[in-house]
Amino acid sequence: MTPFNIALNFEDGVTRVIECEDDESVADAAFRQKINLPMDCRDGVCGTCKCFAEKGEYELEFYMDESMSDEEAEQGYVLTCQMIPESDCVVRVPVTAASCKTAPEAVEGEVLGVDKLSETSFSLRVKPSKVVNFLPGQYVNVTVPGTDKQRSYSFSSAPGSEEATFLVRNIPGGVMSSYLGDGAKAGDAVTLTGPMGAFYLRPMERRQLWLAGGTGLAPFLSMLEQVAEQGTDQAITLYYAVTNAADLVELDRVNALAEKIGNVTVITVLAADEDAHERKGFVTDHVSADDLNGGDCDVYLCGPPPMVDAVRGHFGKLGVEPSNFYFEKFNPTEAA
């Protein structure tokens, strides 16, 4: 049987994906791969290895009431020493990666190419030396060839792809922007360190509201790729907000994925006055209480800090609190 991939999400944002063999516990699989999950007894008695399974099918072999209650088990808590996966799983570990003697993994790769999508954005394509397993929405630190610098970018490619892609904002004088605009060539060596981040797609159990600002579209591209492969019964509304019409990059890809999924509504918003567009202004000018479905929805937001703060304030004015609100703020690194 093909091993299952188990994503261990540590409380400091580090994710390590391990392989779990048939009839192997998550704790044993982690230890075999040199990750020491918290543990004292290995018998389902002490409760030291209690974690939370966010996604996946599994069997719990044994646990005592003193270690975990039946109510906790129904909520999704698990003892990793007794958890036998029956599918790929996502497990939230309530300690840091360092305390489990692990760290983000560094994977070498080479640049395949750079596409200038607009005056404000690039697409960077990288061939890792091995497939980087990540959760859609997560990011890695990418080294800038020819420097000792690294920058953080969310994957815009599908999880498990042999080619990793990233949307990069073109910042005049920026270290990565200067490389991509002037010096990038196929074969340049890069290092990808990660994956990391708590911004990733959870199981879709209710209506989805996704808000992307500029190159904050990247994680949603990865999410759409996974949903297109796995399918969903939940409706998705994606707001894609940019400054100018030329900044609406990857829109053909977004629309193609939306059509494949079948229940995705894509709404674009332009802020600049110069371009004619159906919806002008900011996301907060257009997101309504109806989009929030009376609070029975999951909201994902990736954009610059002012956008995140404005959306949070807007929800307060609407008087609707979503069931879950996940957000990722990004601050472009300017040149000195």
CATH of the domain at 183: 2.40.30.10
User: Domain check: are 237 and 179 in the same one?
Assistant: no
Q: Residue 184 falls within a domain, yes or no?
A: yes
Indicate if 321 and 213 belong to the same structural domain: yes
Position 219, amino acid: P
Last residue of a domain, one of 41, 68, 99: 99
Specify which residues 290 forms β-bridges with.
none
Please indicate, yes or no, whether residues 122 and 189 belong to a single structural domain of this protein: yes
219 within domain boundaries = yes
Q: Write the pLDDT tens digit of every residue in 106-142.
A: 999 999 999 999 999 999 999 999 999 999 999 999 9
| End residue of a domain, out of 166, 196, 226 | 196
Q: How many domains does the chain have?
A: 3
Alpha helices, DSSP H, located in 141-181:
175-178
Q: pTM here?
A: 0.94
DSSP string, 54-111: EE--EEE----TTT--HHHHHHTEEETTTEEESS-EEEEESS-TGGGT--PEEEEEEE
User: Could you report the per-residue pLDDT of 36-88, keeping only the tens digit for each?
Assistant: 999 999 899 999 999 999 999 999 999 999 899 999 999 999 999 999 999 99
Tell me, yes or no, whether 243 and 219 share the same domain: yes
Residues 33 and 140 in one domain: no
Same domain, 135 and 42: no
Residues of the domain holding 11: 4-99
Asked if pLDDT for residue 30 goes beyond 90, the answer is yes
Residue 19, domain member (yes or no) = yes
Domain boundary pick from 165, 196, 227: 196
